[in-house]
A = this chain, B = another copy of it.
Amino acid sequence: MNYLEKRILEDGIVKPGNVLKVDSFLNHQIDPIVMEEVVNEFLEYFGDRKITKVITIEASGIAPAIMLAAKLKVPMLFAKKTEPSTLKNNERYETNVHSYTKNLTSKVIISKEYIEEDDSVLIIDDFLANGQAVMGLVDLVRQAGAEVAGVGICIEKSFQPGHQLIKDSGIDLYSICRIASLENEEVTFLKENN
């Protein structure tokens, strides 16, 4: 059992509707010790491949993404859910991301300036459930003609379709914690990790 799995059992709270509340250490209050452990896990898995940039989506992916980028000594880019006044239509790539939780489709954008064809981009996010946010990031990277080096996730709800969706598109996915079930308000991890 890795550090993040231990913290989920200690401090995570399961709420009705398959919701796992980890806002005491991962996505509202953020414990830097959790970040350091998460970054080490990603480095172990992805550390030997060519990565020229780390990308995530605002807001809760930013903390693990910047700390990993600092270790890899590459820039980090976060996709924005709002349209910055400094970025014109023809200066950006955009894609639509549907949130099943909020039942809402939002436009997500990045500036064309910051991904080039020869980039090899690692996608990082805190949660993977339906995979819509990650597939949106994949779309943005591919619009730029760049390569997806892989996808790194802190917590995956393996009983939802995101994992298969990403694997089916031929992308290497590594999730630090894979949750098999949240039934009966109990967290059960998958036995095999990846």
Interface residues of A (CB under 8 A from B): 15, 19, 21, 23-25, 28-32, 35-36, 58-59, 62-63, 66-67, 69-70, 73-78, 80, 84-87, 101-102, 110-111, 113-114
Contact = CB atoms under 8 A, between A and B. Distances in A.
Which of A70, A102, A114 lies at the interface centre, i.e. has the most chain B CB atoms within 10 A of its CB? A70
B101 A30 contact: no
Contact of A62 (B19, B21, B59): B59
Number of copies: 2
A125 B62 CA distance: 14
A15 B85 CA distance: 10
A62 to B, nearest CB: 4
Given A23-B84, A62-B59, A69 B114 contact: no
Contact of A75 (B19, B29, B70, B110): B29
A28 B66 contact: no
B19 A66 contact: no
For the complex of A and B, 5 pairs with smallest distance between CB atoms: A58-B59, A32-B70, A63-B66, A62-B62, A29-B114
B19 A77 contact: no
A75 B31 contact: yes
